[in-house]
Amino acid sequence: MKLAIGSDHAGYEYKDFIVRYLIKEGHQISDKGPSGIDSVDYADFAHPVAIDVEEKHADLGILVCGSGNGVCMTANKHKGIRAALCWTEELGALARQHNDANILCLPARFISKRMAKRIVNVFLSAKFEGGRHQNRVNKIPC
């Protein structure tokens, strides 16, 4: 699977951890940065991930910041993006199954790396169920 991933400084260590894990699992990763823990603005990294997903250069995206909110709000400004803030495995699965989410947003300051990896696994393996959920997803865009 082709995945785009980015973070801010608060999510950098999680992003790096997830990138290394996903490469070992055989995924193609486009790491949009940052390259370290120096303070940065989350939007500078969330927009490139959203653009990759929006333009179909990536199948899905993953974003990480301290609360997950900043990257989620930023990504959701893009047409066709359904970014979901998830802090449990169940939320990660439901975001894909019911909302056809195409970007996973993780709150680094509120979950462990182990939990982040578990949420990523569930998010990547879950499939959109369509059916009654499709009509709801169709109503999301303005």
Confidence of residue 142 (pLDDT cuts 50, 70, 90): confident
Helix (H) or strand (E) holding 73: helix 69-75
pLDDT in tens, 27-37: 999 999 999 99
Which whole number is the average pLDDT over 6-13?
98
Q: Hey, what are 120's tokens?
A: 């990523």
Which of the following is catalytic: 9, 47, 78, 98? Answer: 98
Q: How far is CA 70 from the centre of its chain?
A: 12
Confidence of residue 116 (pLDDT cuts 50, 70, 90): very high
Which of the following is catalytic: 47, 65, 86, 105? Answer: 65
Closest to 42 measured CA to CA, from 17, 67, 23: 67
Is residue 99 a contact partner of residue 137, using CB atoms and an 8 Å limit? yes
Whether 65 is a known active-site residue: answer yes
Query: Domains in the chain, start-ordered, CATH in brackets?
Result: 2-138 (3.40.1400.10)
Instruction: For the chain, give the mean pLDDT.
Output: 97
Confidence of residue 138 (pLDDT cuts 50, 70, 90): very high
Burial of 114 (0-12, 13-18, 19+ CB in 10 A): exposed
Confidence of residue 80 (pLDDT cuts 50, 70, 90): very high
Residue type, 57: H
Percent of the chain with pLDDT over 90: 99
Spatial distance between the Cα atoms of 67 and 10, rounded to a whole number of angstroms: 9
pLDDT given at position 38 = 96
Confidence of residue 97 (pLDDT cuts 50, 70, 90): very high
Spatial distance between the Cα atoms of 110 and 96, rounded to a whole number of angstroms: 21
